[in-house]
Amino acid sequence: MTSVAVSSSSAPNVHRLGDQLVNFYLVDTGRALVLVDAGLPAHWQGLLDALRALGRPATDIAAVLITHGHPDHVGLAERVRVASGADVWVHESDAPILAEPRRLNKFWHPERSLLRYAARRPSGLRAPLHLARAGALRTPPVREFHTFTDDRQLDLPGSPLAVHTPGHTQGSTSYLFQDASIAFTGDALVTHDSVAGTVGPCVICRAFTQDSQAALASLDKVAEHEIDTVLPGHGEAWTDGLAKAARQAVANGVR
C-alpha cells in the first residue's frame, strides 16, 4: 500500500494498491471507505493488508467504483461486495462485461491487434502476460451492481462525480472527488502505457482502446474540470492538474 500525496488540504486519505503495472485505490473519507477499481484476483491479500494497516474492517468499504469493465479493474469487485456489503457502481454500457468478465471479447473489441505492437516492441507483451498470471482470465462475475448513464453525482461518501469518458471502453468513466480535487481516470487517461512504452499523460494504445477518437474527445471533456491531482489506472500520479494532463494526452495522440 502506498499513500498518495495530493495537494488539497481537504483531501481524504488515498492509498494506492495493486502492483508495478496496475493501480487501484482505497479512499478513506473518514466515515467510510470507497474503493476505486478493484484490481486483479491476485491483489486480494494486498487489500486485506491495507485494511489491517488502517485498522479498518472490510465492512467499512461502502462502495466500489468501477472505471471500466476490463479484468484488471474488476478482479476483486465481487469478492469485496460479498465480504463488505459494498455497492458496486459502473456505467451501464460496461455492465454486460461485469456480468460476464470472462467473455470480454463478446462486448469489447480493440482497434488494432496486439501483435502489431509486439512485433515492434516485444517487451510490451510483459503487461498482458502479467495480467494473465495475476488472474485476469479468472475474474469472477459481479452478481449485483448499480448502473448510471449520464454524468452523475453519486450519493456516496466523498460525493464523487461520475463523468462518462468513453473510448477505451464504451462505459469508461472518470470519478472526480471535487472537494478533494482528485480525479480517478482509470484507463481514460494514464501516465504509463507499457505496451506502447509511453510515459506521461496519454491514451492507451489502439491494442487496448475500442474507439480512439472517442477517447480523445473524452479528454477534451474532462479538461473542463478544475482538478489538481490525477490518479490513473496505470502509471504514477499526476499533480499538475487534470486539464494540463488531458491537453498533453490529446497532443500526444494515440499510438
Q: Is the pLDDT of residue 1 over 90?
A: no
CB 206 within 8 A of CB 225: no
Q: Where are the domains of the chain?
A: 2-103+114-252
pLDDT in tens, 40-75: 999 999 999 999 999 999 999 999 999 999 999 999
For the chain, give the mean pLDDT. Answer: 94
- Residue 53, pLDDT score: 94
- Residue 2, pLDDT score: 65
User: Cell 491514451 belongs to which residue?
Assistant: 203
CB 3 within 8 A of CB 15: yes
pLDDT in tens, 154-203: 999 999 999 999 999 999 999 999 999 999 999 999 999 999 999 999 99
In this structure, of 1-5, 27-31, 112-116, 248-252, the range with the lowest mean pLDDT score is 1-5
In angstroms, how far is the first alpha carbon of the chain from the final one? 31
The domain made up of 2-103+114-252 has a fold known as Metallo-beta-lactamase; Chain A (3.60.15)
Of residues 77 and 9, more confidently modeled = 77
pLDDT in tens, 119-165: 888 988 999 999 999 999 999 999 999 999 989 999 999 999 999 99
- Residue 5, pLDDT score: 47
- Backbone φ and ψ for 162, nearest 5 degrees, come out as -85, 115
Q: How confident is the model at residue 12 (pLDDT cuts 50, 70, 90)?
A: low
Q: Is the pLDDT of residue 7 over 90?
A: no
